[in-house]
Amino acid sequence: MSASAVTGANVAANGIRQHYLHHLGTGAPLVLVPGITSPAVTWGFVAERLAREFDVYVLDVRGRGLSQSGPDLDYCLDSLADDLSGFIAALGLSGVTVLGHSMGARIAIRAATRNPAGMARLLLVDPPVSGPGRRAYPSKLSWYVDSIRQAEKGMDAEAMRAFCPTWSREQRALRAEWLHTCFEPAIVTAFEGFHTDDIHRDLPGLPVPACLMVATRGGVIEPADEAEIQSLNPGIRIERVPAAGHMIPWDNFDGFLAATDKLLGTALAGRKAA
């Protein structure tokens, strides 16, 4: 599947305009929900590979990218979860694999809890496990806010190096181009929600199968967290990606693909471009 088989579109779902990128594939549908400051376009290199086995839809979460934004919207976790369920319903999708990264994984968990219609399974990629009475999320709010404010004024790949020093120039340039679309109040609400929303309460009753991908660096999910998650839902299978921080595909793309293959039964790591 080539990069040219990508279209962008908007759909009215859950009362807002939701923008998405469709990486056309011949397999079952996969909806990719990015993290806190990752517009859909920044996941293109991942979606392109996934489209060799799935029909891939990458969401712009409200307040990011080209989806509806602004001060009149609610950016709490439940609203974001209802957006995902509404998106799946609006497009008439079924048998969906939901791949959520970071905040997107928390959205997937809450959406499956509130309305799992159309969902077949969840792939949770390094979700923050902070929450009430738990240790804080290791990243700082200032990291997000400072970079967004710089992007709003205009920044390039070299300026983005201060925030993403290990990324390639192309990856930094794309983030610098799109980061200004992240509405700061939406980001603040999501970050605060990492510490006030309790996703652990959703895990025992998840109505669809779930699996977990864990970065071995960055401290988002530690061994004790893995043990707790499996105690709450013994059916959750776990794969760890070596030499990877929280942004797993950016740090170790081959490791991300290998872990995805183990968790979803795919053969992405060995697939050649069509």
Residue 222 known to be catalytic: yes
**How far, in Å, CA of 218 to CA of 222, rounded?**
9
Residue 246 known to be catalytic: yes
Q: What share of the chain is helix, strand, coil (3-state, %, to 5)?
A: 40, 20, 40
Active-site hit among 67, 102, 130, 147: 102
| Structural contact between residues 112 and 211, judged by C-beta atoms closer than 8 angstroms | no
Q: How far apart, in Å, are the Cα atoms of 13 and each of 77, 112, 135?
A: 16, 17, 35
Residue 195 known to be catalytic: no
Active-site hit among 19, 22, 101, 246: 246
| Phi, psi for residue 31 in degrees, rounded to 5 | -105, 120
Q: Give the DSSP letter string of 47-99.
A: HHHHTTTSEEEEE--TTSTTS--STTS--SHHHHHHHHHHHHHHTT--SEEEE
**How far, in Å, CA of 21 to CA of 24, rounded?**
9
Active-site hit among 158, 168, 222, 231: 222
Residues tagged active-site = 102, 222, 246
